[in-house]
Amino acid sequence: MPQKPQIELLSSIHRKRLFFTLVLIFLISFPVMVFYTAGYRIDLENDEQTIVTTGGIYITTDKSEVEVYLDDVQVERLRLFRSAYYIQNIAAGSHRMVVQRPDLITWVKVLPVDAYMVTEAAAFNMPAIPQVRPITKYVTATGTAIYLGADETTIEIFNTATTTVPIFFTESKRTTSYQSNKEYEFVSSLFASSSTSSRSVFTLISEEERFRFATSTVSAEEGSTSVPSIIERNNVRLVTRLQDIFAVWQGPDRSIPHYYCVTAGDATTTALRYGQHVADAVTVFAQSTTTPLIVVGDRLCRPEIKLNHLRKDVYFYDFFPNSSDLVLLQLVDGLYVTEIDDRAWQNVQQIYAGTDFQVIVENNIIYVKDGLNYFEIITTLNVK
């Protein structure tokens, strides 16, 4: 009959030795853990400084399956969530972040990293080739868009853009076999009732201002309907002034987005960390008595940020669908998306090329009328 295993207790002297060994390990490792979590690292490759301080970068992306690079080194398997990356152990200083994918426009930003702090950023990547969903007057029984009396070469939008859905071309102009498209009726009515204009918004607003001064009995609400009304989302208001557009913070100081703010310092340091344009803006608001800097802890926050419209006339502007950090701009040569975050620079990406078209954003959908053609701009690509 097999004997049961006998488990004997440790002797008193062995228990004491084990206890003091564990205490010793704890006393040695505890300072190391505190040292590590505080952001200090040992750098044996640094001849001037063996112990360096580090910070982190938390970056969100609007696309999945993208490649993220930190100072030209690809970041591997550090995705915290499906659309966010947390990169730690980054030496204090300026670092170049790149988010890319072959079929997307590359996003690049140089960000300052402080010791013991996490720097936030939000990348965006629009399709490298514009993507559209045609909205035609007639569709098949299954809902496929139909171009009557045409082929692909006669529809100009397909010279510079691709479609995300099946489409059908027929030389015939007969409509008896097809169904009327209710979406077409809805979208065409949007453009018919809109106040979109082929003239620069700067010109329209300038004329509106002169009209108000010349006619004292006309209130601001009774002015030209071509001038954009107040556009605001999540406490950010888009304002046109002279020949520029600004994103103006309207909410409480404590909730201001991080990219409006800089770490307190002199103008030279601010310029090196964030760009000369940011340093100049901070100086202007620091001296202003009407729109002063917003002080949040040890940060100095500008109440507004000027948008980059590539020094071109703007014919339309609005927030990008489902975002208060990105803005749509219709310029003389196409439709663009720009970020409000101007640290280092503002990324500006074209989503549709054209010189004579109209844009409407309705229910977070970007509709375009180009000639007689209506379509939706698609900004999300599926990875096969």
Band of pLDDT at residue 40, cut at 50, 70 and 90: very low
| Residues 243-270: tens digit of each pLDDT | 899 999 999 999 999 999 999 989 999 9
Residue 246's pLDDT is: 96
Residue 53's pLDDT is: 60
**CA R_g for the chain:** 29
Residue 254's pLDDT is: 93
Residue 18's pLDDT is: 72
Residue 343's pLDDT is: 96
Lowest mean pLDDT among 11-15, 60-64, 214-218, 366-370: 214-218
Encoded tokens for 172:
């015939």
Q: Report how far residue 236's alpha carbon sits from residue 302's, in angstroms, rounded to the nearest whole number.
A: 13
Q: What is the mean pLDDT of the chain?
A: 83
Average pLDDT over every residue of 307-327: 95
Q: Report how far residue 312's alpha carbon sits from residue 321's, in angstroms, rounded to the nearest whole number.
A: 23
Residue 303's pLDDT is: 96
Residue 268's pLDDT is: 95
HEC assignment per residue over 93-129: EEEEEEEECCCECCEEEEEEECCCCEEEEECCCCECC
Q: 166 Cβ partners below 8 Å, 6+ apart?
A: 144, 145
Residue 242 has pLDDT above 50, yes or no: yes
Encoded tokens for 285:
């608001």
Band of pLDDT at residue 275, cut at 50, 70 and 90: very high
Residue 103's pLDDT is: 93
| Amino acid type, 145 | A
Range with top average pLDDT, 21-35, 55-69, 111-125, 334-348:
334-348
Average pLDDT over every residue of 147-157: 82
Q: Report yes or no: 274 and 260 within 8 Å, Cβ to Cβ.
A: no
- Of residues 44 and 108, more confidently modeled: 108
Q: Report how far residue 257's alpha carbon sits from residue 340's, in angstroms, rounded to the nearest whole number.
A: 10
Residue 338 has pLDDT above 90, yes or no: yes
- Of residues 45 and 172, more confidently modeled: 172
Average pLDDT over every residue of 31-44: 47
Report field, pTM of the whole predicted structure over 0.85: no
Q: Report how far residue 75's alpha carbon sits from residue 87's, in angstroms, rounded to the nearest whole number.
A: 8
- The label of the residue with tokens 């006669």 reads 154
Q: Report how far residue 369's alpha carbon sits from residue 194's, in angstroms, rounded to the nearest whole number.
A: 12
Share of the chain above pLDDT 90, in %: 53
Encoded tokens for 170:
């027929």
Residue 78 has pLDDT above 80, yes or no: no
Query: Which residues of the chain does CATH 2.60.40.10 include?
Result: 43-122
Residue 137's pLDDT is: 94
Provide the edge-to-edge strand list for the sheet that holds 167-170.
Answer: 167-170, 145-148, 138-139, 179-180
| 328 closest CA partner among 205, 206, 196 | 196
Q: Report yes or no: 380 and 369 within 8 Å, Cβ to Cβ.
A: no
Q: Report how far residue 264's alpha carbon sits from residue 346's, in angstroms, rounded to the nearest whole number.
A: 21
Encoded tokens for 143:
């809902």
Lowest mean pLDDT among 13-22, 331-340, 357-366: 13-22
Instruction: Give 249's strand partners.
Output: 236
Share of the chain above pLDDT 70, in %: 80
- The label of the residue with tokens 């994918």 reads 101
Q: 164 Cβ partners below 8 Å, 6+ apart?
A: 131, 132, 133, 378
Q: How many CB atoms lie within 10 A of CB 158?
A: 17
Residue 156 has pLDDT above 90, yes or no: no
Over the range 275-289, which residues count as b (16 or more CB within 10 Å of their CB) and which as e? bebbbebbeebeeee
Q: Report how far residue 21's alpha carbon sits from residue 279's, in angstroms, rounded to the nearest whole number.
A: 55
Residue 14's pLDDT is: 67
Helix (H, G, I), strand (E, B) or coil at 301: strand
- Of residues 220 and 93, more confidently modeled: 93
Residue 222's pLDDT is: 36
The CA-CA-CA angle for residues 164, 349, 66, to 5°, reads 65
Q: Report how far residue 359's alpha carbon sits from residue 369's, in angstroms, rounded to the nearest whole number.
A: 7
Homologous superfamily (CATH) of 43-122 is: Immunoglobulins (2.60.40.10)
Residue 116's pLDDT is: 84
Average pLDDT over every residue of 62-66: 83
Residue 83's pLDDT is: 74
Instruction: Give 235's strand partners.
Output: none
| Residues 93-120: tens digit of each pLDDT | 999 999 999 999 999 999 999 988 889 9
Residue 29's pLDDT is: 65
Query: Could you tell me whether strands 314-319 and 51-60 are parallel, antiparallel, or unpaired per DSSP bridges?
Result: unpaired
Residue 321 has pLDDT above 70, yes or no: yes
